[in-house]
Amino acid sequence: MPFANLKVPADTLTPESKQKLIDAVTDAYAAVYGERARANTLVLVDEVAEGGWGLGGTVLTADMLGGRS
């Protein structure tokens, strides 16, 4: 079963934009593995709370990671 776990800043995506991400990842797996993979592709969108990101020892905010929608 193809599996993708996407980590995004909390409260930065609308339900519609989450659906777009899920559709795009599912389409990508189907393009590589064939349509048989579509029905079994699992995509998780995890929303990471403010302050839950770090890069190089620096805590990143949602604004630094792409803002809020």
Residues acting as catalytic residues: 2
* Half-sphere CA count of 10, side-chain side, radius 13 A: 8
Beta-carbon contacts of 14 under 8 Å, excluding residues fewer than 6 positions away, are 69
CA dist., res. 6 & res. 21, Å (int) = 9
